[in-house]
Amino acid sequence: MDARIRGTGAEPRGLSWSRTVPRELVHRASVAEVLLTDVLRVDATRFLAAACWSRSHPTFPVDGHAVHHPLMVVETLRQLGIFIPLRYLGVPVDTRMLITDVFFTTDPGAQPRASHGATQVTCRVRVTGLRAGSDGATAGLRLHAEFQAGGAVFATAGGGARFLSPERYAALRGPLAGTCQPPASAGLLRPDPARLGVSHARDVVIGRAAGPGGNGGRRRDRWDPREVLVDAADPWHPFFFDHATDHVPGMVLLEAARQAAALASDGALSRPTGVRLTALRFTEFAPPARIVCVPHHRTCVFRFEQDDACPAFGVLHYPSPLRA
């Protein structure tokens, strides 16, 4: 056990929020997008981690809301799911991580309210389901994390991931493999950012086609839920597209589902307290995937449709029922 930890159940001593971990170990191109600042190993399957959530992060609302975007939980989990295998499980740094599923639940009453500077988050992490490939290297795992701030647990999250060597990833992706820059926006019509609970037009990741195939002669402010497509307004967004990618990132899928649910519910369902996403295959940039959302009381079931297939699906949970 690390000498800086007082037993398995005590609060960590020595966790640092002073500087970020190396960006290469969380697969981020910008240091500003690195949330982890420290990770300590407790035993073979348990870890303690520190993360720093800044008010200057692109997802933080500028309308006076004092609580961080729920996607910060997922992004922290994603970075843990990369750092721990690379640092402690012998996974090579050029390995590609594929998320198979992800979930989180937050407690609205316990969520830390941002003050000056940044929010210091402590994570208690457990690794399960370790799988090895034919070569003995780590091929997959499951991660479960508990998030604390100010001594209170405010969220839990988890999910599964596969790890592929560059060669296996290239074979899987074929001609699409490589670090392709996201394509320019397809020129879709966009909802008003305020209807989606985002601060700026660049944060919008959904749209609809213009012309007869996209809302026809209906009013421009009325949206048919069957016409909502995934397409980022800003393909250079500092959070959603921190680095080049050859497929739609999972974080974009989650945010697109959240925005589609807000749109389908006329804003009643805009800030989820929980989500579960299952990815069955890659979601490609083209043609833009369609999002099908069905709000029902405190949930919104969603699925993505592309080329007559469903690459991903899930459900969003909310703190109060949808009012008629």
CB 279 within 8 A of CB 306: no
From 68, 76, 140, select the one nearest 104 (Cα to Cα): 76
**More confident of the two residues 10 and 234:** 234
Q: Are strands 118-132 and 36-41 parallel, antiparallel or unpaired?
A: unpaired
Q: Give the pLDDT of residue 3.
A: 34
- Measured CA to CA, the distance from residue 274 to residue 157 in angstroms comes to 9
> Does 279 have pLDDT greater than 70?
yes
Count of residues making up the chain: 324
* Strand boundaries in 249-308, DSSP class E: 274-279, 290-296, 299-306
Q: What percent of the chain has pLDDT over 70?
A: 89
- Residue 184 has what pLDDT? 72
Q: What is the DSSP letter of 67?
A: B
Is the dihedral angle over the CA atoms 259, 262, 263, 264 positive or is it negative?
positive
Determine the average pLDDT of the residues in 45-51: 98
Q: What is the DSSP letter of 246?
A: S
194 three-state secondary structure = helix
Task: Count each helix (H run) and each strand (E run) in the chain, helices first.
Answer: 4, 12
Structure tokens at 179: 């670090």
**Which pLDDT does position 4 carry in this prediction?**
39
Residue 114 host element (H or E): none
pLDDT (tens digit per residue) in 112-148: 887 777 899 999 999 999 998 888 888 999 999 999 9
User: Given CA atoms 4, 137, 159, 95 in this order, what sign does their dihedral have?
Assistant: positive
Tokens 């969520």, residue located: 111
pLDDT at residue 310, rounded to an integer: 98
pLDDT of residue 281: 96
pLDDT in tens, 193-234: 989 988 899 999 999 987 654 544 444 567 787 789 999 999
Residue-wise burial string across 42-52, b where 16 or more C-beta atoms lie within 10 A, e elsewhere:
beeeebbbbbb
Tell me: pLDDT of 181 over 50.
yes
Q: How far apart are CA 213 and CA 20, in angstroms?
A: 47
Mean of per-residue pLDDT scores for the chain: 87
Residue with tokens 């970020």: 20
Q: Coil, strand or helix: which one is 317? A: strand
Could you tell me the sign of the dihedral formed by the alpha carbons of 189, 195, 200, 204, in that order? negative
Mean pLDDT of 162-176: 93
Q: What pLDDT sits at residue 321?
A: 55
